[in-house]
Chains A and B, each alone.
Chain A
């Protein structure tokens, strides 16, 4: 009498487990697409080409802890004399985990006087933000900053 009971319980558990696994799949696929490290690498390659990217010269000011990922103030500055012979051509900002790896490209010139740009960005998750500067001698310099986001952008539904 106990044996058949036992086997139904086992069957039930097996079915329930299977259902849980099947149920988990749509949850995973419903998540918004994330930029993968490969996408980030490709986006950076599109900007720098084959050139070597060195660390330094660039300063990225982002609050380390962000409450609202929908507007995150960001300032990028590059230490450069900004003379006609030695200036910053462009600044490119990337992220790791938003749906797209690009944040913005900013093109300056020697007339800028100071190589500094500020804007407000969106961050979909706690992640690394990378800024790359291209100088007039076509060298690339980068910096990366980790940001913790409590309320992510892009998660709320539009009405």
Chain B
């Protein structure tokens, strides 16, 4: 089952730089491994990750097979207003997951 772990501070002061940590459980099959029978295991990776802060995209990443299984991505943003972070992962074989976290900014 796909599941996401998100770490966003619950509260922040306006203008604070906050760290956002995300982890999505996913096999990230590279497409370069072989079965014992010699068949190639088809690629199955997350290709894109994005984060929106109250609707505005603040971070986006293109992922390749060289990203380890269960992609863990951390980045920073400036806390400007109370609201919601929305995260989206898109990948091979129709993989699409979303998660969200809210923050209150004083």
B1 within 8 A of A: no
B73 touches A100 (CB 8 A): no
Q: Find out whether the CB atom of B17 lies under 8 angstroms from the CB atom of A121.
A: no
Contact of A104 among B35, B67, B77, B78 (CB under 8 A): B67
A121 touches B66 (CB 8 A): yes
**A residues near B80, Cβ cutoff 8 Å:** 111
Cross-chain contact of A108 among B53, B63, B71, B75 (Cβ < 8 A) = B75
In the assembled complex, the Cα of A32 lies from the Cα of B30 at a distance in Å of: 12
> Which of the segments B2-10, B54-62, B83-91, B97-105 contacts the partner chain?
B54-62
Chain B interface size band reads 20 to 34
Complexed CA–CA distance, A71 and B69 (Å): 8
Q: Is the CB of B34 within 8 A of A157?
A: yes
Whether A158 and B67, one on each chain, are in contact in the complex, defined by CB atoms closer than 8 angstroms, is no
Q: Are A111 and B74 in contact, CB atoms less than 8 angstroms apart?
A: no
> Is the CB–CB distance between B34 and A71 below 8 Å?
no
Which B residues are in CB contact (< 8 Å) with A117?
61, 73-75
- Least Cβ–Cβ distance between B7 and chain A, in angstroms: 12
Tell me whether B67 and A122 are in contact (CB under 8 A). Answer: yes
* Contact assessment for B68 and A70 in the assembled complex, using a CB-CB cutoff below 8 Å: yes
Which single member of A70, A71, A107, A154 contacts B32 (CB below 8 Å)?
A154
